[in-house]
Amino acid sequence: MNMAAVFKFTNAVCKSYNESWVTIGHCRLRAISREKTVANINVTVHHPAEDIFVRIQVLKKASGYKPWIIDSTLDACAFMRKNNQPVAKIVYGLIKDKSTINHTCPYVGLQQVKDFYLKPDLLPLPLPTGEYALFMTWIFSGKPQFETNIYFTFAEDLIKQ
């Protein structure tokens, strides 16, 4: 038997805590086909950001979304200089080809993730079938500035041969 995995985005929710520093242009999903949905997120950073931390949380739904396996805060600027943080390396590996955040600090102006979809073969960790959420809180100069929350389902399908 072979295993085939299917990811599907179900929702995208973004929120700015400080619109004088960061505005959200759009944060939405678009259905490409019955099996494929892409995420498009576009934010504008109005002032250069050089002290950036990101809190990454992966949650699994079980009577509401509960913390699951990953809850980590990392120095995003240090990571972009030297990709040495395992959790961030996984998330960044998934989005780097579909985003404009593939450079070192400072970040200013339009930053976006365009036509991103989850490819099971790029995810090095096994996931049990279920509903998940990836929450990222972006912290500039010690204060949360915005959040990007992506919800998705994952299903393992056994294919008999």
Please compute the mean of the pLDDT values over residues 146-157 and round it to a whole number.
89
- 22-31 sheet: strands from edge to edge: 22-31, 37-49, 107-116
Question: What domains are defined for the chain?
Answer: 18-155 (2.70.220.10)
pLDDT tens digits for range 73-124: 999 999 999 988 887 887 788 888 899 988 999 999 999 999 998 877 766 6
pLDDT tens digits for range 86-99: 878 877 888 888 99
One-letter amino acid for residue 9 of the chain: F
Distances (CA, A) of 49 to 82, 86, 145, 161: 18, 23, 11, 53
Confidence of residue 3 (pLDDT cuts 50, 70, 90): low
46 three-class SS: strand
